[in-house]
């Protein structure tokens, strides 16, 4: 029979993506919007000297810029970013990170190593992981049923 794909000792290092889309605090929200579209992502991590200082999401742009009728060519990322980031270290368990995300109500978490941005993990990443696990379990169950 198959083996579970989710290892209880799995850490964020094993699933975090290192191709994080970043911008400076002075980057205009118009440019942030372009980055979101070009990179096909829902957020941009705002960094200073490779240290995450905030996050701008597509929702931030919709509510804080468009919804307020602001000019995206003049509003900087620093003006709309969420500054109180929930960050994690690469060695943290996936379960602890999920619990922290749920507790704080966040969908995107920068991964930080030695104070520098090292990656990102999103709720979508967890969904992909769990979907893979469910497919594996389903395959095991179907294989077990077909044996009888």
Alpha-carbon 8 to chain mean position:
21
- Say which residue, 139 or 48, is predicted with more confidence: 48
What distances in angstroms separate CA 71 from CA 13, 30, 76, 94, one per listed residue? 39, 8, 10, 39
Q: Are 145 and 122 in contact (CB under 8 A)?
A: no
| Confidence at 132, pLDDT banded by 50, 70, 90 | confident
Using the predicted structure, report yes or no on whether residue 8 has a pLDDT greater than 70.
no
Per residue in 81-130, pLDDT (tens digit) is: 999 999 999 999 999 999 999 999 999 999 999 999 999 999 999 998 88
Q: What percent of the chain has pLDDT over 70?
A: 85
Residue 137: its H or E element = helix 123-146
Q: Are 121 and 129 in contact (CB under 8 A)?
A: no
pTM (predicted TM-score): 0.83
Sole residue written with tokens 């509510």: 63
Q: How many CB atoms lie within 10 A of CB 21?
A: 16
| Confidence at 36, pLDDT banded by 50, 70, 90 | very high
How far apart (Å, rounded) are the C-alpha atoms in residues 104 and 86?
8
């Amino acid at each position: 029979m198959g083996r579970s794909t989710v290892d209880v000792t799995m850490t964020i290092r094993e699933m975090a993506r290192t191709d994080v889309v970043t911008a400076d605090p002075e980057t205009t929200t118009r440019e942030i919007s372009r980055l979101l579209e070009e990179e096909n992502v829902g957020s941009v991590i705002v960094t200073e000297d490779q240290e995450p200082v905030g996050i701008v999401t597509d929702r931030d742009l919709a509510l804080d810029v468009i919804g307020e009728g602001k000019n995206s060519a003049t509003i900087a990322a620093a003006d709309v970013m969420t500054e109180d980031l929930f960050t994690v270290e690469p060695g943290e368990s996936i379960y602890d990170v999920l619990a922290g995300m749920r507790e704080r109500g966040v969908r995107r978490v920068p991964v930080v190593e030695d104070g520098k941005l090292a990656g990102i993990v999103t709720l979508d990443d967890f969904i992909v992981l769990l979907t893979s696990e469910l497919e594996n379990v389903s395959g095991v169950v179907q294989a077990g049923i077909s044996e009888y």
